[in-house]
Structures are given as C-alpha cells and as structure tokens.
Amino acid sequence: MEECGTILTAKDMERTLERLVSEVSERRGDDERLVLLGIQRRGADLAERLKARLDAALGQDTPLGKIDINLYRDDWTTLNIQPSINRTEIPFEIEGASILLVDDVLYSGRTIRAALEALLDYGRPKRVELLVLIDRAGLRELPIQADYVGKRVVTHGGEHVDVRVMERDSEDKVCLVTA
C-alpha cells in the first residue's frame, strides 16, 4: 500500500506560484522576448496558470506554448507502457526568444534534456531558463538545475513525487509517495 505525505496543499501551491511569478518578473520583467513554454502535461498546465499571473504582474500578454518531449526521451524503448503522445503548440518564434521552460518536477534531468533537444528543432532561443514546482534534490543524473524552484524536496529510492493539478486530477496537491 502506498502512503502519500502532503508536500504542498492547494493553498501552498497558490502561494508558491505567486512567489515564482514575483521572482520571474524581478529577473525578466523588462525582457520583451519573454515566452512561456510548458512541458506536456502538468508543466503545460502550470505554465497556463503562471501566464495569467505573469500577464497581470507585467501588464502584458506573455506568449504561451506547450511542448511534447515523448519522442525525444532516451528511455522510450525501455518503458513498460506506450508513451502518451501529446501536442506541441508553439505559436511564437523561437529564434531569439527568452524562454521560460516550465515543468512540474525536476528529478533526473532527463525530461529537461529531452525538452531542450525538442526545442532546438524549432529554432535557437536567446536563452532558456527552467522553472519547476518541485525539485527532487540529490537524485540528478544529468547536470541540470532549475533557475526558479517552488520547493526543494529530498527524496530517496522507492519514493516519488505526485503533482496533482485541478485541470487533470480535480485537485491541487503535491504528495511524496512511498511504497
């Protein structure tokens, strides 16, 4: 039986997203080429929420896109399940853009590596920064770090982080799941 320890409640998630928007607006508020790109699925959901808050904070319409990384994964041939292919929607020019890449959890770094590879197929951005809701510290396999972190969580083997979002799961909550 799995046990779910709450890392963030719905209220905590709201506060965390507000803080992340403040950090982004402080660092990139004057960047006219700033765009949001959410990694499908929950990263894309979080990017939509961040866009609404960022637009209000900056007084502008921040372009938003979604990227699917499944065909760029380095483990898809070893998965026990068929990967779920989602849509990539990038309604803006990548060339020269300042991209804020958004994902729910940073763990091994392999998802972000795949996202960067996929992104470069669309052009060469000026910069790419990474924003994650949860950073599973200490278990990185690749030298990838987030520029903006909602919460760092130390995890161990046999544990995983489950991010639930209202758009997909009918609730906002982050849990540390142990077997």
Q: Is the pLDDT of residue 78 over 70?
A: no
pLDDT of residue 157: 78
What is the topology classification, in CATH, of domain 12-157?
Rossmann fold (3.40.50)
Asked whether residue 103 carries a pLDDT value surpassing 60, the answer given is: yes
Q: At what angle do helices 10-28 and 42-58 cross, to 10 degrees?
A: 60
Nearest-angstrom CA–CA distance, 82 and 128: 29
Q: Which residues fall within 8 angstroms of residue 88, CB to CB, at 6 or more apart?
A: 40, 65, 66, 67, 68, 118
CA distance 134 to 177: 14
For residues 134 and 160, the answer to whether their CB atoms sit within 8 Å is no
Q: What is the pLDDT of residue 81?
A: 56
What ranges do the domains of the chain cover?
A: 12-157
Mean pLDDT of 34-54: 97
- Which pTM value belongs to this model? 0.92
Tokens of residue 58, six digits: 């900056």
- CA nearest to 103, candidates 125, 72, 134, 61: 134
Task: Say if residue 99's pLDDT is above 90.
Answer: yes
Residue 3's pLDDT is what? 78
Give the per-residue pLDDT at 71: 80
Phi, psi of 153 (to 5 degrees): -130, 125
pLDDT at 79 over 60: no
The 10 Å CB-count burial string (b at 16+, else e) for 40-57 is bbbbbbbbebbbebbeeb
